[in-house]
Structure 1
């Protein structure tokens, strides 16, 4: 983005603000559009009021170039008649013109819209500190203009802005990764008979080669200000990733600390690499470690200082002992974003002992969701709309703009080692639940979203599945599934997609995505309860882990309502895609029972040879009235097969013994195996068991 354009953007925003406040009591048709789009993608503008179906054909909607000349472009109207889509434009500056008569009649005031936008073929790096400062001045201006004003101001500001993998041993546990070949890391990792786990500010290295005689091999002492959230192993390297607060620098860093564990009893520090901000997640694929995080610069200081340094800090112990600002040519502005947050991506080549140069890039435009394949990285961020709240007894000028997520913006990079190439961005209706609602298959990106709210009768929720091509252009979609419900879990398995929605019952949808241009729902199964997590057993069977539910009656409101009861695990048979079945189910504990695996699939234990699946669990049961009574905690292991269904093999539970609540120090965090033994890892101890009959073998206290 050019400096001149940013300055004009600030001026345009400040001019629009008083006009918006002056007319905020008059409801007007809103427009929302972005100011930049890649030439490989379509640009679109969305309106709060429908347009006439023939508005494009009769010439009431058209595009001009920078010389105000009409240009030939492909202009289409969405099915709901509220979005204008423009495609097949070359690189340059354009304006979309929507005449007042293009709109259908409604109670809203209509006006002609002229929305400027740019088509680019690549994102450009920021040219200077001055240009970077001007960007953040625009962000400040936008934030001030949306404070204490009505929701139509969002439209005005938006329109104004537009105008201007590791070596895996078959003899030990591995992380429950979403994508084969893409390592995600976890809080416990296992290699060659040694278990690595974090307790407070220490990495404990447990020698588990003899499960009958567990021993603490060594401790890796961390810094007082360091908090580790992920461990990963690549060949003979142990990688510890987490946040570290640097008091001298006055900021937090996401730091990857790499150790050589060729001799597990004497780990050697190899290198530290960091980026300012907080970790979103990490991945390892094709010999490269990727750190993905967000950094929120203190651009409010612009009100006090003339030339603050708003570049993120980076650190690499192999290059320098100093914390340096990221070079300006490593910073770029993502299309369609003005939120003032950095997405930071650091790529580290792990080959030859991780001694090659690290590459960090900063992209202005924050993110909250992440999906990564071996060749592509996708980041997502919610896009917000506004609604107005007027506090009781307050003046109109005190009306507060309250944002809520309505859509999702997607950013894509291709990755090749430490090289990252930005592909483009797209927007889809609704918000995404988690990484399992996203997937890449044969170059196409699939994403499942929920639009609206289950509690809002005016904007009833509905669920969608979109398929985008390699350039993020929409190929096909399944829309408006399960009105009034929202997605609780999703899983993509090749040319099939599975989606669980819920409000009162649990519909499991089977969706055929083999033809990306024409995805279709094949079958649906409705049962009580819902699954938080879906895990593939084989090509035609799914394991679902979640809650059972029941209907109750509220005498006051005279309405039925749904409550969760016990945990529930189901085996779904989808071999007949049109008629999915709940082949087997088990209830786990009573009301209040739960497991980390319900919201963190890393907690799932798997052993392919034995068909074992397990997880840590905390058991409660229903007491008097609405009370729940603590029963115990530990882990459960099940044998699950398509032929036999679900069989409990081990109930490794420490009973409550009168305690009212679970003891955090004793909570089992992970279940892993190495050789012929199974291990439970808690903050204060590691226990070993026979893998065949689960006989207790040894306990190692951790202090």
Structure 2
């Protein structure tokens, strides 16, 4: 018979105390981990009643009262079953610096000096890279590709090679060329993007949306070698380049397998929500694929920022990824993640801003271009950015102050405002605005919309138009007290403004029928008609009294510069400017039965010497090459000025001429 083991009284007391402590801790632990007390971890028994997804106007955080994972999953569910209200899309982004006086050839016309923008052509003085778009013809199709052409001593071009895209159905979105590196951005969604819909039956699945970045070593232009092939899930909002660093902003919404898109009953909706909740966090993140690998998430959910005000009833499906890729070392990639709305990008040399339109307000998120691409602050201003001209030109940063022009269309007529914001903690706070108590005059007359905005240093320029064009000159030297210095009224309007040296400004837009413009306050219902492209030279040396020096009008024509300033080529030789811009003109005739529309394409060559005693806009010539019978629109036309030589790119072909009147035209190459 076994005898009980003898125990020391002290040992028994110790055991009793330990047992009591364990029981107490267990009870406390059980109390703290009850699922029912934590709505974020609670396993739902019925489909959730979620708020419609929207863009919060407060700061973003990595960890708030709601986990990033649940916020994104709520957003996916909300987007799937409340699509009409879940994505309040603003106006899509359809973006000079003072031009370098040291180069002898033109480069891409950009918004900010030192911040390059993607374009369909890149030229380094010897090699021309041309993104050729797909062409359809009887019996076949030419896919997207990059043509590589070499400049000869006589400035003719010799075709060296072609770079096909890995995905033959992709479309080239733009290119960058820098230090023997050519970066080609392409997408497999040519005609539309849907950022908020989280799932749908084929063929609308978003799982196939990808952005491709092909990086080539072009040290031997006749035989470029592939350095890296990178794919990123989602669609591209925009991109920029500073030095060797390429910045790309992409939008992504996770596609989740196994959801029932026709769910309607409580049981079916709950099953869908549970399927979403059971999805691994890594499957919510866009992936990056390098040189054909299986892909890895760009970020983790813990890396993403979401609205600090979000509750367990809120969510948003769309993820914005801000990625930085070193073109010299493509393995050097940094990325940050934001769960919010954005449809436009503005970038200075220090910061990146993402904007969206929500409930007649513009919400702005600021991201620093530091080592970690750190989210900084969020702010909002009344009104929307609008769509005319280049919307991103309505934003500008100087000395850490962000200037932005917005319009409120909820009133009987548009109300326009300049706002100046400064970061204060995690908030982009408004420090000043126009109109204000000191300068109460409205921007624009009643009914006038904004057609162009341009910031340059301490000056701002705004063009409004309904029946006549007022050009406003703003003083922004004191960011806390902006004011209107002067205004000029002339027929027509400018859609794009280009600052020049020595107090001059170039405006590109449309002339209007001056016979339809009322005089002396008379009211008329007769519509104002656009008569053709108009280029004006403005003297703004006296900002209180801006003057139109002269203008050139091309009847029945337009230029793509009116909506895409990259179509303007500029060469500045110490204040002596050369400009080249494409034109598309048309002839319209008719009889009782047939209407006739006959387009023609040309390249207009202009000069302005801002150093002369009487600067004037001068037309040097108009280059009219003989194009093939196959029609190619002029909206993507480009040009290059190289000294006294000019290249004109129309469609996928190139012509060459010299900077002289009636000079012969060679090509196409």
Name which structure has the greater RCO, CA cutoff 8 Å, separation 6+. 2
Do residues 498 (structure 1) and 461 (structure 2) align? yes
- Counterpart residue number, 1:584: 550
Contact 1:279 / 1:291 at 8 angstroms: preserved in 2? yes
- Counterpart residue number, 2:319: 342
Q: Output the CA distance in 2 between the equivalents of 1:676 and 1:558.
A: 49
Question: Which consecutive residues of structure 2, in runs of 5 or more, have no partner in the other structure?
Answer: 1-36, 89-96, 135-143, 191-202, 261-268, 436-441, 518-522
CA shift digits 1:249-305 (9 cap, x unpaired) = 941111211100011111011112232221111111143111112224447947564
Specify whether residues 169 and 292 from structure 1 end up closer, same or farther in structure 2 by C-alpha distance, changes over 3 A only: farther
Q: Which moved more, 1:599-608 or 1:478-487?
A: 478-487
Q: Which moved more, 1:120-129 or 1:468-477?
A: 120-129
2:146 is aligned, of 188, 196, 203, to 203
2:58 is aligned, of 37, 41, 54, to 37
| Offset, 1:666 | 8.4
Q: Output the CA distance in 2 between the equivalents of 1:594 and 1:469.
A: 38
Specify whether residues 522 and 623 from structure 1 end up closer, same or farther in structure 2 by C-alpha distance, changes over 3 A only: farther
Q: Output the CA distance in 2 between the equivalents of 1:499 and 1:665.
A: 30
Specify whether residues 10 and 372 from structure 1 end up closer, same or farther in structure 2 by C-alpha distance, changes over 3 A only: farther
Contact 2:497 / 2:507 at 8 angstroms: preserved in 1? yes
- Counterpart residue number, 2:197: none
Q: Output the CA distance in 2 between the equivalents of 1:362 and 1:508.
A: 40
1:429 is aligned, of 362, 366, 382, to 382
**Secondary structure in 2 aligned to 1:133?**
helix
Do residues 645 (structure 1) and 609 (structure 2) align? no
Contact 2:129 / 2:149 at 8 angstroms: preserved in 1? yes
- Counterpart residue number, 1:600: 564
Q: Output the CA distance in 2 between the equivalents of 1:238 and 1:15.
A: 46
Contact 2:73 / 2:317 at 8 angstroms: preserved in 1? no
| Offset, 1:15 | 9.0
Specify whether residues 205 and 629 from structure 1 end up closer, same or farther in structure 2 by C-alpha distance, changes over 3 A only: same
1:672 is aligned, of 640, 647, 665, to 640
Do residues 468 (structure 1) and 392 (structure 2) align? no
Do residues 687 (structure 1) and 655 (structure 2) align? yes
Residue correspondence of structure 1 range 607-626 to structure 2 within 5 A: 607-609=571-573, 611-621=577-587, 623=589
| Offset, 1:138 | 4.9
Q: Which moved more, 1:206-215 or 1:7-16?
A: 7-16
Specify whether residues 549 and 188 from structure 1 end up closer, same or farther in structure 2 by C-alpha distance, changes over 3 A only: same
- Counterpart residue number, 1:380: 355
Specify whether residues 493 and 9 from structure 1 end up closer, same or farther in structure 2 by C-alpha distance, changes over 3 A only: farther
Q: Which has the larger radius of gyration?
A: 2
| Offset, 1:366 | 2.2
| Offset, 1:8 | 13
CA shift digits 1:322-375 (9 cap, x unpaired) = 13344333333245785532222111123xx22333123331112112110111
**Secondary structure in 2 aligned to 1:606?**
strand
Q: Output the CA distance in 1 between the equivalents of 2:486 and 2:222.
A: 54
- Counterpart residue number, 1:331: 304
| Offset, 1:145 | 7.5
Contact 1:242 / 1:279 at 8 angstroms: preserved in 2? no
Q: How many residues align?
A: 552
Give the alignment's TM-score, normalised by structure 2: 0.74
Contact 2:584 / 2:634 at 8 angstroms: preserved in 1? no
- Counterpart residue number, 2:77: 137
Q: Output the CA distance in 2 between the equivalents of 1:463 and 1:249.
A: 37
Q: Output the CA distance in 2 between the equivalents of 1:448 and 1:648.
A: 33
CA shift digits 1:533-587 (9 cap, x unpaired) = 0001125211000001126779xx9822222111101111111111111111110
Give the alignment's TM-score, normalised by structure 1: 0.71
| Offset, 1:693 | 5.4
| Offset, 1:137 | 3.4
Specify whether residues 476 and 217 from structure 1 end up closer, same or farther in structure 2 by C-alpha distance, changes over 3 A only: same
Q: Which moved more, 1:663-672 or 1:186-195?
A: 663-672
| Offset, 1:685 | 2.1
| Offset, 1:122 | 6.1
Specify whether residues 681 and 334 from structure 1 end up closer, same or farther in structure 2 by C-alpha distance, changes over 3 A only: farther
Contact 1:573 / 1:582 at 8 angstroms: preserved in 2? yes
Specify whether residues 12 and 427 from structure 1 end up closer, same or farther in structure 2 by C-alpha distance, changes over 3 A only: farther
Q: Output the CA distance in 2 between the equivalents of 1:628 and 1:237.
A: 47
Residue correspondence of structure 1 range 237-252 to structure 2 within 5 A: 237-244=181-188, 250-252=207-209
Q: Output the CA distance in 1 between the equivalents of 2:121 and 2:538.
A: 29
More strand by share: 1
- Counterpart residue number, 2:170: 226
- Counterpart residue number, 2:482: 519
Q: Output the CA distance in 2 between the equivalents of 1:503 and 1:123.
A: 48
Q: Output the CA distance in 2 between the equivalents of 1:312 and 1:524.
A: 50
Specify whether residues 188 and 33 from structure 1 end up closer, same or farther in structure 2 by C-alpha distance, changes over 3 A only: closer
Specify whether residues 335 and 464 from structure 1 end up closer, same or farther in structure 2 by C-alpha distance, changes over 3 A only: farther
Do residues 360 (structure 1) and 303 (structure 2) align? no
Q: Output the CA distance in 2 between the equivalents of 1:33 and 1:243.
A: 27
Q: Output the CA distance in 1 between the equivalents of 2:451 and 2:57.
A: 33
**Secondary structure in 1 aligned to 2:369?**
strand
**Secondary structure in 1 aligned to 2:413?**
coil
Specify whether residues 641 and 525 from structure 1 end up closer, same or farther in structure 2 by C-alpha distance, changes over 3 A only: same
Do residues 481 (structure 1) and 443 (structure 2) align? yes
Question: Which consecutive residues of structure 1, in runs of 5 or more, have no partner in the other structure?
Answer: 18-31, 39-119, 152-164, 385-405
- Counterpart residue number, 1:111: none
Residue correspondence of structure 1 range 131-170 to structure 2 within 5 A: 132-138=72-78, 170=103
- Counterpart residue number, 1:214: 157
Contact 1:410 / 1:427 at 8 angstroms: preserved in 2? yes
Q: Output the CA distance in 2 between the equivalents of 1:182 and 1:695.
A: 35
Aligned Cα RMSD in Å? 3.9
Contact 1:668 / 1:680 at 8 angstroms: preserved in 2? no
Q: Output the CA distance in 2 between the equivalents of 1:354 and 1:468.
A: 36
CA shift digits 1:579-619 (9 cap, x unpaired) = 1111111101x23x111111000000111135111211111
Contact 2:50 / 2:78 at 8 angstroms: preserved in 1? no
Contact 2:183 / 2:216 at 8 angstroms: preserved in 1? yes
